[in-house]
Structures are given as structure tokens and as C-alpha cells.
Amino acid sequence: MRGLKLLAVATIVTLLLHPLSGLSAQHTGDPVVPRGEWHIQLQPSASLLEGLYDPDGEGTLDLAPGFFLPEIGVDQVPGLEPTETRFRSLAGGNSDVGLRIGATRGRVTGDEQVLPVGISYGLLDRVTVGVTVPFVRRRVDTLLRYVPDGANVGLNPARVDREPVDAFLIQALEALDNLADAVDEACTDLGEDSQPCLDGNSLLEGTQGFVGSLELAYEEEALFPLGGSELGEGIANRWTTLRTEMADWEAAAPEAPPLAADFLDSSTFRSLVVNPAWPGSGFPQDTPPAFLDLGDVELHLAVRILPLDDAGERDGAVSFSSAVAGAVRFATGSADSLRAVAPRDPPRGVPGVEIRWISDVILPRRLGVRGTVEVGWHGSRDILLLAPDSDGAFLPDRTRTSVRWDPGTHVGIEVTPRLRIGPGLSLGAGWRMLRREADTFSALHTDGTPPPAPSAAAVVHRLSIEFRYSAIHPPLSDTVSRPFEVLVRGTRSVSGSGDWAPVDRRIDVGARFRLHR
């Protein structure tokens, strides 16, 4: 309803301004083609999606913040649970300290190149039909970086320098042999049921279990508790207690066991944490490489509203031109499985309908203004959505969900003042506001994985600068051998609100040619 109201207001403004109009010449970017003419248009664009505007108004956010975790433990990487259990046991069995690997930092950016190939035909003087076939190359680049913030484990010291570990184990085993001899002597002299014999056998069993578990940990684990961490201190303190009790039996045990002194390196982090959790290629570095996939094909219809006659230009007069253009989009492109990670407008891979009201006013003193109001409605599509979960971003079954996706309606308003610096040549600087209603998702399978919550409506404001030259309409088209029009435009977002409001920039370089009748 919001979009229909905007179109109604635009139509009223058009009719009110009509008495000022005197011509249609020199209006550039006109969607209406003269009767019987064929126009071909190429408008390649390149865009970069850098982040999202914070819904709370606190600046900007990185894309896919759920991929980058402030803390990584067994909740995020369940495969580490046996390692945590082993080190808790070595620390005394009653430790509730969780294993913390560190955190991840990084950045996700999405770049896209689109090559739309369009052809239009002037069916009537005021009616044009056409089709646009876009070719799209889309890529999402991911930089994942491990940082040791909050970590209580690091690299296994046996994998960094084996010599101190071997020296500790040799001395510990020698002390165990001495302890066993002393306990055996006490049991022989005092009897098997004597308290010193029972205490000595208990100490011997406990120490053998500790040293055996520690030796297996040195052999099998890639991770090890860091020296100075609570988990590492628990292991060191337990050994100190055992060592003190062994000294009472005149069994000299070595000092504290070697603990981790080095944090994980990136390769160990990837092999130990990332690749096991993300089977195949591991953490998604980018979308599958492709050379210009087919996008969503569109059929177009444009109808001129004003001017109502073909009057020629009058010196110093105000010129006004207005048209309504509609497009029907077919879901011929790939489903936008990265919608929750790198949202783009309009949505990709879904059917849709769009209506635009386009109006140009050329004022005296070489000034002009173009205004556009557009409304778009979108259909639904079943997709395998990649939606990171901040509580378990490394769990593929919790980040890829089969859903039915219903994109929200969008409404856009654009105003571009222009300065004509020569016949057919203009420079413009524009403002565009786009409001996108909430996307909704519904689960396709009852596998226990909840679909993402609906997004809130998003509003994005963008500024643009454009250069345009048009010699495709009279009188300039009569002076060139091959009538054409070119456009160069740069656009950048400047503010946004709501969910999934993108921080992006884009450049368009377009050309339109008139074929002979």
C-alpha cells in the first residue's frame, strides 16, 4: 500500500506540472523508444558490499558477524570435548574450567559484477517493450584470523620442542621406579595391611595414572594447557602435591611438567578446529567460481505520460517529461543462499514485479532534475540458506538451513539534480532512499534446526555522481552517424537503519545504441 500511495502522489504531481512542459528533447535516460526503433543497451556494473549498518545506530558492522566468535570452546567445536575431559581429569577431576582456544577475527566482503544486455522496441509512439538478460559474477571473500584472546590452551610443547618433555618423562618414570621399590620394601617389612603400605600403594597408583595420562596427552593432543592459565595451574599443582608425597618416600621427582608456552598458529587452528567442523573445503572462503552466470531475466513495458504533444523546444522554456515503466522478473538466476550474509537489492533468484515513475524537468540556465519513484514486489523461493549462528558458527548443520524465503516489498525514491554543460552532456549528483520490508523465512523440514528470525525493515540512503552524454534523440541524433548514449555513475551508501542495511559502493558504465529503423 505504501508503494501505491507514492505512485498516486507522483501521478498527481505529474499532472500539476504539465502546464509548464514544452518539449521532450534533451531528456537523457528516457525509457521510451520512438516508434519503430530498436535500442540496445549495455550497462555493466561492479559493486562491493563491505558491511551492514548497525540496527542500534552505533556505526557499522562487519558482514556475517556470527562467523567471528569472541570465545571458542567445546560449545562451538564439540569435537574438542574429549580433550577438555582429559585435561580436566589431569587437573584433579573436579575442575570446571572449560577449554578455551581463543577467538576469531576477520572480514567478509561481497563483490559482484553484472552485465545486463537489454533490447527495447518502440511499439507505439508512447509505448516501448523490451527484455533484459543479465549475466552475473558473484563472489564472497572471507578472511578468517585466529587470535589467542582468552585462550587457556596452546600448542602441545612436545610438538614444539620434544627434549624437555622427554627429560621430564624419563625422570618421572625413574621416580616411579624408586617409589615402587620403597613401597614394596615397606609392605614387606610392615605387612600388606599396614597403613604405610596402603598409603604407599595408593600414591603409586595415583602417580602412575597421572604420568600415564600425561604421556598419552603429549603423544596424542595438538592442544595443551598454557602455563599460568587456571587449567595449567591445576595440572601443575596436582603434580606438586604428588611430588611432595613422593619425596616423603625418598623418590626424587622432576619439577613441574612442561606446559604450552606458544599459542596456536593459523595452520594448527585450521587443521584442528576449522576443517573438521566444515567438511570438504573447510571454512567457506568464497562462493563457487563462475564466469557470468545467468541472472534474472526481465520483461519491460514503458509508457510515456507527458508531454501530451510533440512541441519543439522553446528558448528559456521549462521542459518536462514523464513516463511509467514496469518490469516482470523471472527467477532464472541462482538462489540467493547468501542473503543472510551479504544482502543485496533487488533480491536474487526470485520472481518479482517492479513499477517506476520517472520524471525529468529541464529548467532555464542549464539546470535539470530527474525524479524516480519505484515499488517492487517479490515472490518466494525455496533455498538452502547460509545463516551463521553466533552460538555455533562452526557447525555446518546449524548454519545451512532449508527454508522458504519471502523477500519483503521495497520502495525507492531518487532525486538527481543535473547541470547541462553542453548539448546532450550533463553532470548530476543524486540522492536515493530505499526502504526494504522484512524478509521472512519458514522451515521446509522439521529437523530441529530453526529458521532465521524475520529481519526488520531496512532503510538505506545513497549518494551518487553521474556523467551522461546522450545523442540518441532529436535534434542531436540527426547530427551523428550512429546515435548513442553513454553513462558513468558512482554510488555509495551514506547511512542506513534496520536489519541488513548494506554498506556498499557501486560503479555503472552504460551505453545505449539506436539501431537503424
Residue 268 lies in a domain: no
pLDDT exceeds cutoff 70 at 334: yes
Same domain, 95 and 244: no
Buried b (16+ CB within 10 A) or exposed e, 100-130: bbbbbebbbbbbbebebebbbbbeeebebeb
Same domain, 299 and 367: yes
Instruction: Enumerate the β-bridge partners of residue 61.
Output: 52
pLDDT at 69: 80
pLDDT digit string, tens, across residues 454-476: 778 999 999 999 999 888 766 67
Distance CA 337, CA 288 (A): 12
Q: How far is CA 422 from the centre of its chain?
A: 43
Distance CA 54, CA 495 (A): 10
pLDDT exceeds cutoff 50 at 320: yes
Q: Which domain holds residue 242?
A: 153-262
Instruction: Enumerate the β-bridge partners of residue 51.
Output: 503
Same domain, 438 and 482: yes
Same domain, 291 and 188: no
Q: How sure is the predictor about 492, in pLDDT bands with cuts at 50, 70 and 90?
A: very high
* Domain end residue (candidates: 262, 287, 314): 262
Burial (CB < 10 A; 0-12, 13-18, 19+), residue 447, is: exposed
pLDDT exceeds cutoff 80 at 281: no
Task: List the CATH number of the domain containing 339.
Answer: 2.40.160.40
Same domain, 430 and 344: yes
Same domain, 189 and 130: no
pLDDT at 495: 94
* Domain end residue (candidates: 224, 239, 262): 262
- Stronger pLDDT, 398 or 328, i.e. the higher one: 328
Residue 335 lies in a domain: yes
pLDDT at 393: 65
Same domain, 474 and 418: yes
Residue 124 grid cell = 507505439
Number of structural domains found in the chain = 2
Residue 267 lies in a domain: no
- Stronger pLDDT, 476 or 152, i.e. the higher one: 152
- In this prediction, residues 303-317 reach a mean pLDDT of 64
- Mean pLDDT check: name the lowest of 34-38, 72-76, 187-191: 72-76
Q: How sure is the predictor about 344, in pLDDT bands with cuts at 50, 70 and 90?
A: confident
- In this prediction, residues 37-43 reach a mean pLDDT of 92
Same domain, 252 and 280: no
Residue 127 lies in a domain: yes
Same domain, 351 and 494: yes
Q: How far are the Cα atoms of 117, 119, 219, 276 from residue 42, in angstroms, in the given order?
A: 5, 9, 63, 45
Same domain, 22 and 125: yes
Residue 235 lies in a domain: yes
Q: How sure is the predictor about 284, in pLDDT bands with cuts at 50, 70 and 90?
A: low
Same domain, 27 and 106: yes
Same domain, 291 and 244: no
Distance CA 337, CA 383 (A): 6
Residue 168 lies in a domain: yes
Residue 43 lies in a domain: yes
* Domain end residue (candidates: 206, 241, 262): 262
pLDDT digit string, tens, across residues 206-244: 999 999 999 999 999 999 999 999 899 999 999 999 999
pLDDT at 517: 59
Residue 70 lies in a domain: yes
pLDDT at 286: 52
